[in-house]
Amino acid sequence: MVIKMKKPLIIEIHQTTSACPTQFEGKTSDGRMVYIRYRFGRLSLQISKKPADFVDRLVEDFNTYYDEIIGERYDGCIDLDLLKEKLKDVVMFRD
């Protein structure tokens, strides 16, 4: 289930893997943790409900902002530009 909410501003984002699946972590302007993953053609974006220091906090307390199949079954690599394009309707990115 995807929850519709006001677009958060992602102020920090960095890729945490160099292989499949592609994963990114970051922070929103209000201090919440961001976790983005692309595996088997599925792109998902999760953001913690409360400010947090570690992405591990997402396991228990997060909202899913995006969860869609955008690629082929065995796709697992996505670059930051395409990721931003796909997520532009649900989050904002600081330039």
In the chain, the number of structural domains is 1
Give domain status of residue 92, yes or no.
Answer: no
Q: Dihedral of CA 53/48/28/41: which sign?
A: positive
- Which DSSP letter does residue 41 get? T
Give domain status of residue 41, yes or no.
Answer: yes
Per-residue pLDDT band at 6 (split at 50, 70, 90)? confident
- Percent of all residues in the chain with a pLDDT value above 90, rounded to a whole number: 67
Give domain status of residue 37, yes or no.
Answer: yes
pLDDT (tens digit, 9 = 90+) per residue, 44-72?
A: 999 998 888 766 655 668 888 999 999 99
Give domain status of residue 66, yes or no.
Answer: yes
Q: Is beta strand 32-39 parallel, antiparallel or unpaired with respect to 22-28? A: antiparallel
Give domain status of residue 68, yes or no.
Answer: yes
Give domain status of residue 4, yes or no.
Answer: no
Q: What is the extent of the structural domain holding 72?
A: 9-87
Q: Is beta strand 9-15 parallel, antiparallel or unpaired with respect to 92-93? A: parallel
Give domain status of residue 40, yes or no.
Answer: yes
Q: State mean pLDDT over 4-19.
A: 88
